[in-house]
Amino acid sequence: MKITILCENQAGHDNAKMCLAEWGFSAFIRVNGINILLDAGHTDVYRHNAERTGIDLEKTDFIVLSHLHWDHIGGLLNHSFQEKKRLIFHPDILEKLDRTEADTINSDYLITASVHPLEFSKGIYFLGQIPRTSSFEKGTHKGDPMNDDTALAVKTDKGVIVITGCSHSGICNICEYAKKISGQNLYAVIGGFHLFKDNPEAVDGTAAYFKKEGIDNLYPMHCIDMPTLCRFYSEFAVKKLCAGDSVVLD
């Protein structure tokens, strides 16, 4: 399984001369012969970086949206796909989009909208609406319950790999649900964790959760501030991935 970051707030050092950065997130996932695009950033940066890293987006089998926000969905309105791609998301997204954007999504993609978990390829799950079970995560964003916030889960021989966009529903809530749906323990968690020093309860609770889980493969990025990232580096030796970077997980 190979995950390449196509959009992130920073450009990776190894590809600093090739790749662009913008506030947002997009990842291209190759697993079991399937190509998945998770989110698409804000503009066409994900397309630029895909070309620079040798990824042919036309070979995408599925596109998955983690949630509505502009820095994850905007790139889908600025695409170059020659054929309609299968697009999977929570149904609240179409209700939240303005009419023009919703019309574009409806006309340009083959849509599957689901509140429930969906195994869209063997061992690969769209998690659907995430139950809020932890006591320390708000699971909301600026008054929005963010029912559309979700993630991907991939079963492997070593455990489940969770790939998130922003984790507004709570990174630990997401991980617990991924464990339930996959029937596996955590092997790796990668993507936006939405953790900031002004919410110490969530930061402390998440750190304690991952210590309890005994997980070594943590890759927080995008929506995590520097103090929290430094703490995770100190306690978990995390590696911060940026636009153009890739990670291979067995």
pLDDT band at 94 (very low <50, low <70, confident <90, very high): very high
Query: Which pTM was predicted?
Result: 0.97
| Sheet of strand 151-156: strand arrangement | 118-121, 124-126, 151-156, 159-164, 186-192, 217-221
Contact indicator for 153, 160 with CB cutoff of 8 Å: yes
DSSP state at residue 77: G
Given a cut of 80, whether residue 250 has pLDDT beyond it is no
- Closest by alpha carbon to 149, among 172, 167, 176? 167
From CA 172, how far away is CA 167, in angstroms rounded? 9
Domain residues of the chain, as ranges? 2-248
| CATH superfamily ID and name for 2-248 | Ribonuclease Z/Hydroxyacylglutathione hydrolase-like (3.60.15.10)
pLDDT in tens, 58-90: 999 999 999 999 999 999 998 999 999 999 999
Q: Pairing relation of β-strands 159-164 and 151-156?
A: antiparallel
User: For 6-37, what is each residue's pLDDT tens digit?
Assistant: 999 999 988 778 999 999 999 999 999 999 99
